[in-house]
Structure 1
Amino acid sequence: MPEIIKLDFTDLGIAVALMAITIGLSAWEKLGIEIKLLMATGRTILQLMVLGYVLDFIFAVDNVIAVLAILAVIITIAAIITRNRISQKIPLVLPLVWGAMFISTSVSIIYTNYLIIQPQRWFEPRYVIPLALMVIAGAMNAAAIAGERLVKTIDSSHLEIETHLSLGATPTQAVAQYRKEAIRAGIIPTINQMTLVGMVTIPSFFTGQLLAGVKADEAISYQIVVLFMIAFANLVTTILITRGLSRQFFNEHAQLIR
Protein backbone atom coordinates (compact mmCIF):
# COMPACT_ATOMS: atom_id res chain seq x y z
CA MET A 1 0.00 0.00 0.00
CA PRO A 2 1.42 3.47 -0.91
CA GLU A 3 2.64 5.76 1.87
CA ILE A 4 0.48 8.63 3.06
CA ILE A 5 0.71 11.77 0.94
CA LYS A 6 2.71 14.36 2.87
CA LEU A 7 1.36 17.90 3.16
CA ASP A 8 3.69 20.89 2.98
CA PHE A 9 3.17 24.49 4.11
CA THR A 10 1.48 25.36 0.83
CA ASP A 11 -1.10 22.65 1.40
CA LEU A 12 -1.69 23.88 4.96
CA GLY A 13 -2.04 27.43 3.65
CA ILE A 14 -4.76 26.27 1.28
CA ALA A 15 -6.45 24.56 4.25
CA VAL A 16 -6.29 27.84 6.19
CA ALA A 17 -8.02 29.49 3.22
CA LEU A 18 -10.93 27.13 3.86
CA MET A 19 -11.29 28.63 7.33
CA ALA A 20 -11.08 32.10 5.80
CA ILE A 21 -14.04 31.18 3.62
CA THR A 22 -15.83 29.86 6.73
CA ILE A 23 -15.23 33.17 8.52
CA GLY A 24 -16.43 35.04 5.44
CA LEU A 25 -19.65 33.03 5.35
CA SER A 26 -20.20 33.81 9.03
CA ALA A 27 -19.78 37.52 8.31
CA TRP A 28 -22.11 37.26 5.30
CA GLU A 29 -24.81 35.72 7.49
CA LYS A 30 -24.04 38.23 10.30
CA LEU A 31 -23.64 35.44 12.85
CA GLY A 32 -21.23 37.39 15.00
CA ILE A 33 -18.86 34.47 15.54
CA GLU A 34 -16.06 35.61 13.25
CA ILE A 35 -13.67 36.46 16.10
CA LYS A 36 -14.34 33.11 17.77
CA LEU A 37 -13.70 31.27 14.51
CA LEU A 38 -10.48 33.24 13.99
CA MET A 39 -9.28 32.49 17.52
CA ALA A 40 -10.24 28.83 17.17
CA THR A 41 -8.27 28.63 13.92
CA GLY A 42 -5.20 30.18 15.51
CA ARG A 43 -5.40 27.98 18.59
CA THR A 44 -5.85 24.86 16.47
CA ILE A 45 -2.71 25.59 14.47
CA LEU A 46 -0.62 26.62 17.48
CA GLN A 47 -1.72 23.83 19.82
CA LEU A 48 -1.35 21.06 17.26
CA MET A 49 2.05 22.30 16.12
CA VAL A 50 3.27 22.39 19.73
CA LEU A 51 1.81 18.92 20.33
CA GLY A 52 3.52 17.62 17.21
CA TYR A 53 6.94 18.87 18.30
CA VAL A 54 6.44 17.59 21.83
CA LEU A 55 5.43 14.13 20.63
CA ASP A 56 8.33 14.00 18.19
CA PHE A 57 10.64 14.74 21.11
CA ILE A 58 9.03 12.11 23.35
CA PHE A 59 9.16 9.46 20.61
CA ALA A 60 12.83 10.31 20.03
CA VAL A 61 13.69 10.20 23.74
CA ASP A 62 11.69 6.98 24.18
CA ASN A 63 11.77 7.27 27.97
CA VAL A 64 9.14 6.19 30.49
CA ILE A 65 9.53 9.42 32.49
CA ALA A 66 8.84 11.53 29.41
CA VAL A 67 5.74 9.48 28.58
CA LEU A 68 4.35 9.73 32.10
CA ALA A 69 5.18 13.44 32.27
CA ILE A 70 3.25 14.33 29.10
CA LEU A 71 0.28 12.24 30.22
CA ALA A 72 0.27 13.96 33.63
CA VAL A 73 0.31 17.36 31.95
CA ILE A 74 -2.55 16.41 29.62
CA ILE A 75 -4.65 15.01 32.48
CA THR A 76 -4.03 18.20 34.46
CA ILE A 77 -5.13 20.42 31.56
CA ALA A 78 -8.22 18.26 30.98
CA ALA A 79 -9.05 18.35 34.70
CA ILE A 80 -8.81 22.15 34.81
CA ILE A 81 -11.08 22.51 31.77
CA THR A 82 -13.57 20.07 33.29
CA ARG A 83 -13.47 21.82 36.67
CA ASN A 84 -14.26 25.14 34.99
CA ARG A 85 -17.30 23.62 33.29
CA ILE A 86 -18.60 21.98 36.46
CA SER A 87 -18.03 24.71 39.04
CA GLN A 88 -15.20 26.88 40.34
CA LYS A 89 -16.98 27.55 43.62
CA ILE A 90 -17.17 24.01 44.99
CA PRO A 91 -13.97 23.06 46.87
CA LEU A 92 -11.81 20.10 45.88
CA VAL A 93 -13.37 19.72 42.43
CA LEU A 94 -10.01 19.91 40.65
CA PRO A 95 -8.29 17.10 42.62
CA LEU A 96 -11.49 15.07 42.40
CA VAL A 97 -11.66 15.35 38.63
CA TRP A 98 -7.92 14.75 38.26
CA GLY A 99 -8.06 11.64 40.43
CA ALA A 100 -11.09 10.23 38.60
CA MET A 101 -9.46 10.72 35.20
CA PHE A 102 -6.16 9.29 36.41
CA ILE A 103 -7.81 6.15 37.79
CA SER A 104 -10.04 5.49 34.78
CA THR A 105 -7.28 6.18 32.25
CA SER A 106 -4.68 4.12 34.11
CA VAL A 107 -6.93 1.09 34.52
CA SER A 108 -8.07 1.14 30.88
CA ILE A 109 -4.51 1.54 29.57
CA ILE A 110 -3.05 -1.15 31.82
CA TYR A 111 -5.86 -3.57 30.94
CA THR A 112 -5.47 -2.95 27.21
CA ASN A 113 -1.67 -3.07 27.19
CA TYR A 114 -1.27 -6.21 29.24
CA LEU A 115 -4.21 -8.25 27.97
CA ILE A 116 -4.85 -7.07 24.41
CA ILE A 117 -2.04 -5.23 22.61
CA GLN A 118 0.83 -6.60 24.70
CA PRO A 119 3.67 -4.39 23.41
CA GLN A 120 7.25 -5.31 24.29
CA ARG A 121 7.37 -2.41 26.77
CA TRP A 122 4.31 -1.30 28.72
CA PHE A 123 5.13 2.39 28.16
CA GLU A 124 5.60 2.11 24.38
CA PRO A 125 4.89 5.74 23.33
CA ARG A 126 3.30 4.92 19.96
CA TYR A 127 0.58 2.94 21.77
CA VAL A 128 0.25 4.50 25.21
CA ILE A 129 0.09 8.17 24.22
CA PRO A 130 -2.53 8.00 21.41
CA LEU A 131 -4.74 5.62 23.37
CA ALA A 132 -4.46 7.67 26.55
CA LEU A 133 -5.24 10.92 24.72
CA MET A 134 -8.45 9.50 23.29
CA VAL A 135 -9.49 8.06 26.65
CA ILE A 136 -8.75 11.33 28.47
CA ALA A 137 -10.69 13.35 25.89
CA GLY A 138 -13.73 11.10 26.28
CA ALA A 139 -13.49 11.11 30.06
CA MET A 140 -13.22 14.90 30.10
CA ASN A 141 -16.44 15.35 28.13
CA ALA A 142 -18.34 12.72 30.13
CA ALA A 143 -17.14 14.17 33.43
CA ALA A 144 -18.09 17.71 32.45
CA ILE A 145 -21.59 16.69 31.38
CA ALA A 146 -22.26 14.53 34.44
CA GLY A 147 -20.73 16.96 36.91
CA GLU A 148 -22.49 20.00 35.52
CA ARG A 149 -25.79 18.13 35.43
CA LEU A 150 -25.44 16.98 39.05
CA VAL A 151 -24.51 20.43 40.40
CA LYS A 152 -27.38 22.17 38.62
CA THR A 153 -29.88 19.52 39.69
CA ILE A 154 -28.87 19.64 43.36
CA ASP A 155 -28.84 23.45 43.36
CA SER A 156 -32.40 23.51 42.06
CA SER A 157 -33.71 20.72 44.32
CA HIS A 158 -32.88 21.91 47.84
CA LEU A 159 -36.42 21.55 49.12
CA GLU A 160 -36.80 18.01 47.83
CA ILE A 161 -33.42 16.96 49.23
CA GLU A 162 -34.13 18.49 52.65
CA THR A 163 -37.48 16.70 52.68
CA HIS A 164 -35.71 13.37 52.12
CA LEU A 165 -33.23 14.21 54.88
CA SER A 166 -36.00 15.14 57.32
CA LEU A 167 -37.65 11.78 56.65
CA GLY A 168 -34.49 9.95 57.69
CA ALA A 169 -32.66 9.51 54.39
CA THR A 170 -28.88 9.69 54.35
CA PRO A 171 -27.16 12.24 52.07
CA THR A 172 -26.26 9.39 49.71
CA GLN A 173 -29.89 8.27 49.54
CA ALA A 174 -31.17 11.83 49.16
CA VAL A 175 -29.16 12.46 45.99
CA ALA A 176 -29.03 8.92 44.62
CA GLN A 177 -31.54 9.59 41.83
CA TYR A 178 -29.76 12.79 40.82
CA ARG A 179 -26.45 10.90 40.62
CA LYS A 180 -27.98 8.24 38.39
CA GLU A 181 -29.43 10.85 36.06
CA ALA A 182 -26.11 12.69 35.88
CA ILE A 183 -24.19 9.50 35.13
CA ARG A 184 -26.67 8.58 32.40
CA ALA A 185 -26.33 12.07 30.89
CA GLY A 186 -22.56 11.72 30.86
CA ILE A 187 -22.47 8.26 29.30
CA ILE A 188 -25.30 8.57 26.74
CA PRO A 189 -23.12 10.37 24.12
CA THR A 190 -20.71 7.43 24.31
CA ILE A 191 -23.53 4.93 23.85
CA ASN A 192 -24.83 6.92 20.90
CA GLN A 193 -21.38 6.96 19.33
CA MET A 194 -21.03 3.21 19.72
CA THR A 195 -24.50 2.65 18.31
CA LEU A 196 -23.94 4.75 15.19
CA VAL A 197 -20.28 3.98 14.48
CA GLY A 198 -19.74 2.38 11.09
CA MET A 199 -23.26 3.28 9.95
CA VAL A 200 -23.55 7.05 10.23
CA THR A 201 -20.14 8.07 11.56
CA ILE A 202 -16.55 7.00 10.88
CA PRO A 203 -14.30 7.64 13.91
CA SER A 204 -11.29 9.88 13.41
CA PHE A 205 -8.94 7.22 14.81
CA PHE A 206 -10.11 4.71 12.20
CA THR A 207 -9.82 7.35 9.47
CA GLY A 208 -6.31 8.25 10.61
CA GLN A 209 -5.18 4.65 10.44
CA LEU A 210 -6.57 4.27 6.92
CA LEU A 211 -4.71 7.43 5.86
CA ALA A 212 -1.56 5.96 7.39
CA GLY A 213 -1.89 2.88 5.19
CA VAL A 214 -3.22 0.42 7.77
CA LYS A 215 -5.50 -2.26 6.35
CA ALA A 216 -9.18 -1.70 7.06
CA ASP A 217 -9.65 -4.90 9.05
CA GLU A 218 -6.70 -4.05 11.31
CA ALA A 219 -7.92 -0.48 11.76
CA ILE A 220 -11.36 -1.76 12.71
CA SER A 221 -9.88 -4.01 15.39
CA TYR A 222 -8.08 -1.11 17.02
CA GLN A 223 -11.15 1.11 16.75
CA ILE A 224 -13.26 -1.48 18.57
CA VAL A 225 -10.68 -1.62 21.36
CA VAL A 226 -10.59 2.19 21.58
CA LEU A 227 -14.37 2.54 21.81
CA PHE A 228 -14.56 -0.06 24.57
CA MET A 229 -11.74 1.67 26.46
CA ILE A 230 -13.54 5.00 26.20
CA ALA A 231 -16.86 3.52 27.34
CA PHE A 232 -15.23 1.95 30.40
CA ALA A 233 -13.22 5.05 31.30
CA ASN A 234 -16.21 7.37 30.84
CA LEU A 235 -18.42 5.33 33.13
CA VAL A 236 -15.75 4.98 35.82
CA THR A 237 -14.98 8.70 35.64
CA THR A 238 -18.61 9.79 35.93
CA ILE A 239 -19.26 7.39 38.82
CA LEU A 240 -16.27 8.67 40.78
CA ILE A 241 -16.93 12.34 40.05
CA THR A 242 -20.64 12.28 40.88
CA ARG A 243 -19.95 10.38 44.08
CA GLY A 244 -17.28 12.84 45.14
CA LEU A 245 -19.29 15.90 44.10
CA SER A 246 -22.42 14.84 45.97
CA ARG A 247 -20.42 14.72 49.21
CA GLN A 248 -19.40 18.36 48.78
CA PHE A 249 -23.01 19.46 49.31
CA PHE A 250 -23.27 18.10 52.86
CA ASN A 251 -21.42 18.81 56.11
CA GLU A 252 -20.31 16.35 58.77
CA HIS A 253 -23.79 16.47 60.31
CA ALA A 254 -25.43 15.29 57.05
CA GLN A 255 -26.93 18.75 56.48
CA LEU A 256 -27.31 20.32 53.05
CA ILE A 257 -24.91 23.27 52.91
CA ARG A 258 -25.56 24.68 49.43
Structure 2
Amino acid sequence: MNSLIQLDLIDLGIAVGMAAIAIGLSAWQQLGLEWKLALATVRTIVQLLVVGSILQVVFTWNHPLAMAALLLVMLTIAAIVARNRMQAEIPGLLGLVWGAIGIGTAFTLLYVNTLVLRQPETWSNPQYLVPLGGMMMGNAMNAAAIAGERFVSSVKSKRLEIETHLCLGATPQQAISTYRKDAVRAGTISILNSMMVVGLVTLPGIITGQLLSGVDPLDAAAYQILIMFSIAMTNFVATIILVEGLGRRFFNASAQLQ
Protein backbone atom coordinates (compact mmCIF):
# COMPACT_ATOMS: atom_id res chain seq x y z
CA MET A 1 0.00 0.00 0.00
CA ASN A 2 1.06 3.63 -0.46
CA SER A 3 3.07 5.30 2.29
CA LEU A 4 1.85 8.34 4.18
CA ILE A 5 1.84 11.59 2.19
CA GLN A 6 4.10 14.06 3.97
CA LEU A 7 2.68 17.53 4.68
CA ASP A 8 5.09 20.47 4.49
CA LEU A 9 4.61 24.02 5.77
CA ILE A 10 2.92 25.12 2.56
CA ASP A 11 0.41 22.27 2.84
CA LEU A 12 -0.32 23.16 6.46
CA GLY A 13 -0.71 26.82 5.51
CA ILE A 14 -3.29 25.88 2.91
CA ALA A 15 -5.00 23.68 5.50
CA VAL A 16 -5.32 26.70 7.79
CA GLY A 17 -7.35 28.22 4.97
CA MET A 18 -10.21 25.91 5.95
CA ALA A 19 -10.30 27.53 9.38
CA ALA A 20 -10.21 30.94 7.68
CA ILE A 21 -13.21 29.93 5.57
CA ALA A 22 -15.07 28.89 8.73
CA ILE A 23 -14.27 32.30 10.26
CA GLY A 24 -15.51 34.00 7.11
CA LEU A 25 -18.73 32.01 7.18
CA SER A 26 -19.26 32.99 10.82
CA ALA A 27 -18.82 36.67 9.94
CA TRP A 28 -21.13 36.34 6.93
CA GLN A 29 -23.87 34.78 9.04
CA GLN A 30 -23.19 37.22 11.91
CA LEU A 31 -22.73 34.37 14.39
CA GLY A 32 -20.26 36.26 16.55
CA LEU A 33 -17.86 33.31 16.67
CA GLU A 34 -15.01 34.86 14.70
CA TRP A 35 -12.70 35.54 17.64
CA LYS A 36 -13.43 32.18 19.25
CA LEU A 37 -12.69 30.41 15.98
CA ALA A 38 -9.51 32.42 15.51
CA LEU A 39 -8.37 31.67 19.05
CA ALA A 40 -9.25 28.01 18.66
CA THR A 41 -7.29 27.88 15.39
CA VAL A 42 -4.18 29.42 16.95
CA ARG A 43 -4.39 27.19 20.02
CA THR A 44 -4.84 24.10 17.86
CA ILE A 45 -1.74 24.89 15.84
CA VAL A 46 0.42 25.82 18.81
CA GLN A 47 -0.71 23.00 21.09
CA LEU A 48 -0.35 20.28 18.47
CA LEU A 49 3.06 21.51 17.33
CA VAL A 50 4.26 21.63 20.94
CA VAL A 51 2.86 18.16 21.63
CA GLY A 52 4.40 16.86 18.41
CA SER A 53 7.79 18.26 19.40
CA ILE A 54 7.57 16.75 22.89
CA LEU A 55 6.52 13.38 21.51
CA GLN A 56 9.36 13.47 19.02
CA VAL A 57 11.82 13.94 21.90
CA VAL A 58 10.21 11.16 23.96
CA PHE A 59 10.05 8.77 21.01
CA THR A 60 13.67 9.50 20.06
CA TRP A 61 14.96 9.16 23.62
CA ASN A 62 12.83 6.03 24.12
CA HIS A 63 13.42 5.94 27.88
CA PRO A 64 10.84 4.59 30.38
CA LEU A 65 11.31 7.55 32.73
CA ALA A 66 10.56 10.08 29.99
CA MET A 67 7.48 8.12 28.97
CA ALA A 68 6.28 7.82 32.57
CA ALA A 69 6.81 11.54 33.17
CA LEU A 70 4.81 12.42 30.06
CA LEU A 71 1.94 10.13 31.06
CA LEU A 72 1.88 11.62 34.58
CA VAL A 73 1.74 15.15 33.17
CA MET A 74 -1.11 14.12 30.85
CA LEU A 75 -2.94 12.48 33.76
CA THR A 76 -2.58 15.55 35.96
CA ILE A 77 -3.88 17.87 33.24
CA ALA A 78 -6.83 15.54 32.60
CA ALA A 79 -7.65 15.45 36.31
CA ILE A 80 -7.51 19.24 36.62
CA VAL A 81 -9.76 19.74 33.59
CA ALA A 82 -12.29 17.18 34.85
CA ARG A 83 -12.26 18.69 38.34
CA ASN A 84 -12.84 22.20 37.00
CA ARG A 85 -15.79 21.05 34.88
CA MET A 86 -17.55 19.70 37.96
CA GLN A 87 -17.64 23.15 39.59
CA ALA A 88 -17.96 21.60 43.04
CA GLU A 89 -16.23 22.57 46.30
CA ILE A 90 -15.42 19.13 47.67
CA PRO A 91 -12.31 18.49 49.80
CA GLY A 92 -9.78 16.30 48.02
CA LEU A 93 -11.72 16.35 44.76
CA LEU A 94 -8.63 16.75 42.58
CA GLY A 95 -6.93 13.77 44.18
CA LEU A 96 -10.06 11.69 43.80
CA VAL A 97 -10.41 12.54 40.11
CA TRP A 98 -6.68 11.98 39.56
CA GLY A 99 -6.87 8.57 41.18
CA ALA A 100 -10.02 7.52 39.33
CA ILE A 101 -8.63 8.39 35.89
CA GLY A 102 -5.20 7.02 36.77
CA ILE A 103 -6.50 3.69 38.09
CA GLY A 104 -8.86 3.27 35.14
CA THR A 105 -6.06 3.98 32.65
CA ALA A 106 -3.45 1.86 34.44
CA PHE A 107 -5.82 -1.10 34.79
CA THR A 108 -6.73 -1.00 31.11
CA LEU A 109 -3.11 -0.58 29.98
CA LEU A 110 -2.15 -3.55 32.14
CA TYR A 111 -4.89 -5.66 30.56
CA VAL A 112 -4.01 -4.61 27.01
CA ASN A 113 -0.27 -5.10 27.33
CA THR A 114 -0.30 -8.38 29.23
CA LEU A 115 -3.29 -10.11 27.63
CA VAL A 116 -3.80 -8.55 24.19
CA LEU A 117 -0.44 -7.34 22.86
CA ARG A 118 1.60 -9.81 24.96
CA GLN A 119 4.84 -8.08 24.08
CA PRO A 120 7.02 -7.22 27.13
CA GLU A 121 8.93 -4.61 25.14
CA THR A 122 5.79 -2.49 24.75
CA TRP A 123 6.07 -1.38 28.39
CA SER A 124 9.12 0.68 27.45
CA ASN A 125 7.95 1.60 23.96
CA PRO A 126 6.23 5.01 23.78
CA GLN A 127 4.80 4.08 20.38
CA TYR A 128 2.17 2.00 22.18
CA LEU A 129 1.78 3.32 25.70
CA VAL A 130 1.66 7.06 24.99
CA PRO A 131 -1.08 6.97 22.31
CA LEU A 132 -3.09 4.31 24.14
CA GLY A 133 -2.72 6.03 27.51
CA GLY A 134 -3.54 9.43 26.03
CA MET A 135 -6.73 8.23 24.40
CA MET A 136 -7.85 6.43 27.54
CA MET A 137 -7.14 9.45 29.77
CA GLY A 138 -8.84 11.88 27.42
CA ASN A 139 -12.02 9.86 27.24
CA ALA A 140 -11.95 9.04 30.95
CA MET A 141 -11.55 12.77 31.65
CA ASN A 142 -14.76 13.57 29.80
CA ALA A 143 -16.63 10.63 31.30
CA ALA A 144 -15.49 11.49 34.83
CA ALA A 145 -16.41 15.15 34.43
CA ILE A 146 -19.92 14.32 33.19
CA ALA A 147 -20.51 11.64 35.82
CA GLY A 148 -19.17 13.79 38.63
CA GLU A 149 -21.17 16.85 37.65
CA ARG A 150 -24.35 14.79 37.29
CA PHE A 151 -23.83 13.13 40.67
CA VAL A 152 -23.07 16.36 42.53
CA SER A 153 -26.00 18.24 40.99
CA SER A 154 -28.39 15.33 41.68
CA VAL A 155 -27.41 15.12 45.34
CA LYS A 156 -27.77 18.90 45.73
CA SER A 157 -31.19 19.00 44.11
CA LYS A 158 -32.48 15.86 45.84
CA ARG A 159 -31.23 16.67 49.33
CA LEU A 160 -34.68 16.43 50.92
CA GLU A 161 -35.35 13.04 49.35
CA ILE A 162 -31.99 11.69 50.48
CA GLU A 163 -32.50 12.90 54.04
CA THR A 164 -35.97 11.33 54.04
CA HIS A 165 -34.46 7.96 53.07
CA LEU A 166 -31.90 8.34 55.86
CA CYS A 167 -34.62 9.12 58.39
CA LEU A 168 -36.46 5.97 57.31
CA GLY A 169 -33.41 3.85 58.10
CA ALA A 170 -31.61 3.69 54.76
CA THR A 171 -27.83 3.66 54.72
CA PRO A 172 -26.02 6.51 52.95
CA GLN A 173 -25.19 4.25 50.01
CA GLN A 174 -28.80 3.13 49.71
CA ALA A 175 -30.04 6.71 49.86
CA ILE A 176 -27.92 7.81 46.90
CA SER A 177 -27.93 4.55 44.95
CA THR A 178 -30.24 5.82 42.20
CA TYR A 179 -28.24 9.01 41.66
CA ARG A 180 -24.98 7.08 41.63
CA LYS A 181 -26.22 4.78 38.87
CA ASP A 182 -27.59 7.69 36.86
CA ALA A 183 -24.23 9.45 37.10
CA VAL A 184 -22.30 6.43 35.84
CA ARG A 185 -24.78 6.00 32.98
CA ALA A 186 -24.40 9.67 32.04
CA GLY A 187 -20.61 9.41 32.05
CA THR A 188 -20.49 6.32 29.87
CA ILE A 189 -23.31 7.02 27.41
CA SER A 190 -20.95 8.68 24.93
CA ILE A 191 -18.72 5.64 24.43
CA LEU A 192 -21.77 3.37 24.29
CA ASN A 193 -23.29 5.50 21.53
CA SER A 194 -19.99 5.52 19.66
CA MET A 195 -19.73 1.73 19.86
CA MET A 196 -23.26 1.36 18.48
CA VAL A 197 -22.54 3.30 15.27
CA VAL A 198 -18.77 2.95 14.81
CA GLY A 199 -17.99 2.25 11.18
CA LEU A 200 -21.60 2.87 10.12
CA VAL A 201 -21.88 6.63 10.58
CA THR A 202 -18.26 7.71 11.04
CA LEU A 203 -14.77 6.30 10.78
CA PRO A 204 -13.01 6.95 14.11
CA GLY A 205 -9.71 8.80 14.25
CA ILE A 206 -7.52 5.75 14.79
CA ILE A 207 -8.73 3.76 11.81
CA THR A 208 -8.72 6.90 9.65
CA GLY A 209 -5.15 7.75 10.63
CA GLN A 210 -3.94 4.23 10.01
CA LEU A 211 -5.66 4.06 6.63
CA LEU A 212 -4.02 7.34 5.65
CA SER A 213 -0.64 5.96 6.71
CA GLY A 214 -1.08 2.91 4.49
CA VAL A 215 -2.02 0.25 7.04
CA ASP A 216 -4.10 -2.69 5.81
CA PRO A 217 -7.82 -1.93 6.41
CA LEU A 218 -8.39 -5.11 8.43
CA ASP A 219 -5.38 -4.38 10.64
CA ALA A 220 -6.68 -0.83 11.12
CA ALA A 221 -10.11 -2.19 12.03
CA ALA A 222 -8.56 -4.61 14.52
CA TYR A 223 -6.73 -1.81 16.31
CA GLN A 224 -9.87 0.31 16.32
CA ILE A 225 -11.72 -2.54 18.04
CA LEU A 226 -8.95 -2.66 20.64
CA ILE A 227 -9.18 1.09 21.17
CA MET A 228 -12.96 1.17 21.52
CA PHE A 229 -13.04 -1.60 24.10
CA SER A 230 -10.10 -0.04 25.95
CA ILE A 231 -11.89 3.29 26.17
CA ALA A 232 -15.08 1.61 27.32
CA MET A 233 -13.36 -0.25 30.15
CA THR A 234 -11.38 2.81 31.22
CA ASN A 235 -14.52 4.97 31.30
CA PHE A 236 -16.49 2.48 33.36
CA VAL A 237 -13.67 1.90 35.86
CA ALA A 238 -12.91 5.62 36.22
CA THR A 239 -16.52 6.76 36.60
CA ILE A 240 -17.41 4.03 39.08
CA ILE A 241 -14.37 4.82 41.25
CA LEU A 242 -15.08 8.57 41.09
CA VAL A 243 -18.76 8.27 41.91
CA GLU A 244 -18.09 5.84 44.76
CA GLY A 245 -15.51 8.22 46.18
CA LEU A 246 -17.81 11.21 45.87
CA GLY A 247 -20.62 9.31 47.55
CA ARG A 248 -18.47 8.75 50.62
CA ARG A 249 -17.58 12.44 50.82
CA PHE A 250 -21.22 13.53 50.92
CA PHE A 251 -21.71 12.10 54.42
CA ASN A 252 -19.98 12.57 57.76
CA ALA A 253 -19.01 9.90 60.27
CA SER A 254 -22.55 9.95 61.65
CA ALA A 255 -24.03 9.14 58.22
CA GLN A 256 -25.45 12.66 57.93
CA LEU A 257 -25.61 14.40 54.54
CA GLN A 258 -23.13 17.27 54.52
Matched residue, 2:98: 98
Aligned residue for 1:9?
Answer: 9
Q: Give the letter aligned to residue 113 of structure 2.
A: N
Q: Within 5 A, what are the aligned runs for 1:32-43?
A: 32-43=32-43
- The range that moved more, 155-164 or 109-118, is 109-118
Matching residue of 1:31: 31
Alignment-mate amino acid for residue 105 of structure 2: T
**Could you tell me which residue of structure 2 aligns to residue 230 of structure 1?**
231
CA contact under 8 A between 2:191 and 2:232: conserved in structure 1?
yes
User: Where in structure 1 do 4 or more consecutive aligned residues deviate above 3 Å?
Assistant: none
Aligned equivalent of 2:44: 44
Instruction: Tell me whether 23-32 or 151-160 shows the greater mean CA deviation.
Output: 23-32
Give the residue type in structure 1 aligned to 2:101.
M
What TM-score, normalized to structure 1?
0.97
After TM superposition, list the pairs within 5 Å mapping 1:138-217 onto structure 2. 138-217=139-218
Q: Is 1:83 aligned to 2:90, yes or no?
A: no
- 2:124 partner SS: coil
CA contact (8 A) 2:67 2:126 kept: yes
Query: For residue 126 of structure 1, what is the aligned residue in structure 2?
Result: 127
Please tell me the residue identity of whatever aligns with 2:104. Answer: S
Q: Give the match for residue 250 of structure 2.
A: 249
Displacement after TM superposition at 1:74 (Å): 0.2
Q: Report deviation, 1:252.
A: 1.4
- Partner letter of residue 105 of structure 1? T
Unaligned runs of 5+ in 2: none
**TM-score where L is the length of structure 2:** 0.97
Q: Once the 2 structures are TM-superposed, how far is the Cα of residue 87 of structure 1 from its aligned partner?
A: 2.4
Task: Report Cα offsets for 1:68-106 as digits up to 9, x if no partner.
Answer: 100000010000000001124111111001101111111
SS of 1:6's equivalent in the other structure is coil
Displacement of 1:126 in angstroms is 0.5
Q: Secondary structure at the match of 2:229?
A: helix
Question: Partner of 2:103: helix, strand, or coil?
Answer: helix
Within 1, Cα distance between the matches of 2:23 and 2:119? 45
> Is the CA contact 2:113–2:120 (under 8 Å) kept in the aligned structure 1?
no
Using the aligned pairs only, state the percent identity: 52
What residue identity is the alignment partner of 1:246? G
Q: Any idea what the Cα deviations from partners look like across 1:165-198, whole Å, max 9, x if unmatched?
A: 1111111111010000010111111111001001
Using the TM superposition, give the Cα deviation of residue 38 of structure 1 relative to its aligned residue in structure 2, in angstroms: 1.1
RMSD: 1.0
| Matching residue's letter, 2:53 | Y
1:129-176, Cα deviation, whole Å (9 max, x unpaired): 111111111101111111111111111011101101111111111101
Q: Distance in 1 between matches of 2:170 and 2:221?
A: 48
Q: After alignment, is 111-120 or 236-245 more displaced?
A: 111-120
- Count of residue correspondences: 257
